Amino acid sequence: MIPVSQVWPEELARLYRQKGYWRGETFGSMLRERAQAHPERIALVEGETRWSYAELDRRADLLAAGFLAEGLKPGDRVIVHLPNVLAFFPVVFGLFRAGILPVYALPAHRITEIEHFARSSEAVGYVIADHQDGFDYRELATELCQRVPAVAHVFVAGEAGPFRALDDVSRAGETAPAPATGPQPSDVAFMQISGGSTGLSKLIPRTHDDYIYTLRASAEICGLDGDNVFLVVLPMAHNYPMSSPGVLGALYAGSRIVLCPSPSPEVAFPLIERERADMVSLVPPLLLVWLDAAEQTTHDLSSLKVMQVGGAKLIPEVARRVRPLLGVQLQQVFGMAEGLVNYTRLDDDDETMIGTQGRPISPDDEIRLVDDQDRDVPAGEPGNLLTRGPYTIRGYHNNPTANARSFTEDGFYRTGDIVRLTERGYLVVQGRAGDHINRGGEKISAEEVEDHLLAHPGVFDAAVVSMPDEYLGERSCAFIIARGEKPRAVDLKRWIRERGLAAFKVPDQIVFVDKFAATAAGKISRKELRASLRAMLAEQEQEKQGG
């Protein structure tokens, strides 16, 4: 098994420790300290169930011992594929304490993605819910175990079927020994999944030291403390609702987390009223829905103080409506699972809050804006955003090709974002250099979807591009050259779904063409091809509006 590590150059690591960013905490110790400091305080609310910090701490211990008793070992990797359910917390803290690495999958991921995560992380375990929103995760697990026999352990929150119930693992933990030694703060705690700008998702190893720094700093920037009630509506396996400050930042600060079973206003608004939630994080399309619903709601939302919006670009016209309609402070969040996170600050003026995507968490986040030849652009001009710092990774797990492409020789991460810097050091996102589609915060790699389309017998060639969408910001359009008789668009969409991909990757629109225009150089550059198709779509859109 290839060990997972994440190492910064020694002098930088020393600096980050000296400056107090990395304080030698681990997730296990962090939860223990909170549980000792305020054992009775409520940490988690789901429906009628309330768990105190002591309760969560106890359950995490049981699962840590239980997972080891099941035969898992420190350093093993376990895919955690859970929706927003209570079990998420004792599972991940149990794994942390045992030194086992969670690999976070999103609820929307399906067999193709999960198989890829299992292979690339060499996972031996898989944690799922029994079923959610009509989807049975146990069937997915059965398929996964057939395809990747190395996944020898499947644990289920709920009805286990042929697998092992988490409740039984907890029970086994009652009599099993506690982990002998815990992980070190500089060890990798877990792996996140990259948005996948080119091809398949990559694994992002994050250490206890670096991630806990972001929790502490984010909680401070967002004004979280023991009195706050954080409502989580986005899937918390994603880096944004997990850590910006998200659920883990809320636990770090000793706040209360309320799990919301659905992001829709019909479910969230009554919960805000009942639990007096004061903070929530949304993506832009969801904000639109909430804004509309807020105009008519009879629910008391007056407890809400801060509403974060991030994951995709929030346009100023929408940002401007937040305070008048919801009576809350807007906070923009621009971040990435690889590290760098920017926030507008709660005391920023309106113009900054509405018109920028914030500034970095850390004084030691280094930002460079460069042209396509890696030369610094003049001040105020847009450029490709490069970054490195105390919580931005220096490389993906076991992926030298991606690392050569995504990192400079001196360790800057190439974010793929095109941004502009204001005079005060705030970032304004202008777009993406690469070919990923940001569908309302859900990231789609054009290349990945093209590869699946190309596998269809009726497809000769395919190019997937983003197109502007009023609601989602961007949606996906697949240009197809048919082989022989044209397949029907619905069949191609079904094809993608049946290939076991997350539903958000199904192209929103399919356009058949006879050929792709050759590029200036006469050869087929997919990048240029996508750019020209995108330009064509934009032109058509303009014509439609003009006429």
Binding site residues, ligand OOB, CB under 6 A: 195, 239-240, 244, 310-313, 332-337, 341, 357, 415-417, 429, 432, 438, 443
- Report the nearest approach of ligand OOB to the CB of residue 281 (Å): 8
- Report the nearest approach of ligand OOB to the CB of residue 117 (Å): 15
- Report the nearest approach of ligand OOB to the CB of residue 98 (Å): 26
Nearer to ligand OOB by Cβ, of 460 and 471: the residue is 471
Question: At how many degrees (to 10) do helices 246-253 and 27-37 cross?
Answer: 40
Nearest-angstrom CA–CA distance, 245 and 308: 10
Nearer to ligand OOB by Cβ, of 397 and 432: the residue is 432
Nearer to ligand OOB by Cβ, of 387 and 532: the residue is 387
- Report the nearest approach of ligand OOB to the CB of residue 438 (Å): 6
Which DSSP state fits 501?
A: -
Nearer to ligand OOB by Cβ, of 226 and 425: the residue is 425
Nearer to ligand OOB by Cβ, of 66 and 241: the residue is 241
- Cβ-in-10-Å burial (0-12, 13-18, 19+) of 85 comes to middle
- Report the nearest approach of ligand OOB to the CB of residue 312 (Å): 5
- Residue 236: how many CB atoms within 10 A of its CB? 27
Task: Report CA 409 to chain centroid distance, whole Å.
Answer: 26
Nearest-angstrom CA–CA distance, 164 and 149: 16
- Report the nearest approach of ligand OOB to the CB of residue 46 (Å): 24
- Residue 487: how many CB atoms within 10 A of its CB? 19
Which two structure tokens, joined as six digits, stand for 321? Answer: 């409506």
Q: Which among 103, 96, 95 has a CA at the least distance from the CA of 120?
A: 103
Which DSSP state fits 363?
A: T
Nearer to ligand OOB by Cβ, of 77 and 432: the residue is 432
Nearest-angstrom CA–CA distance, 273 and 285: 22
Q: Which amino acid is present at 344?
A: T
Nearest-angstrom CA–CA distance, 463 and 299: 46
- Report the nearest approach of ligand OOB to the CB of residue 427 (Å): 9
334 close to 429: Cβ distance less than 8 angstroms: yes
207 close to 185: Cβ distance less than 8 angstroms: yes
- Report the nearest approach of ligand OOB to the CB of residue 498 (Å): 25
Nearer to ligand OOB by Cβ, of 86 and 464: the residue is 464
Nearer to ligand OOB by Cβ, of 90 and 249: the residue is 249
- Compute the CA torsion angle 249, 332, 188, 234 (nearest 10 deg): 70
Task: Report CA 191 to chain centroid distance, whole Å.
Answer: 11
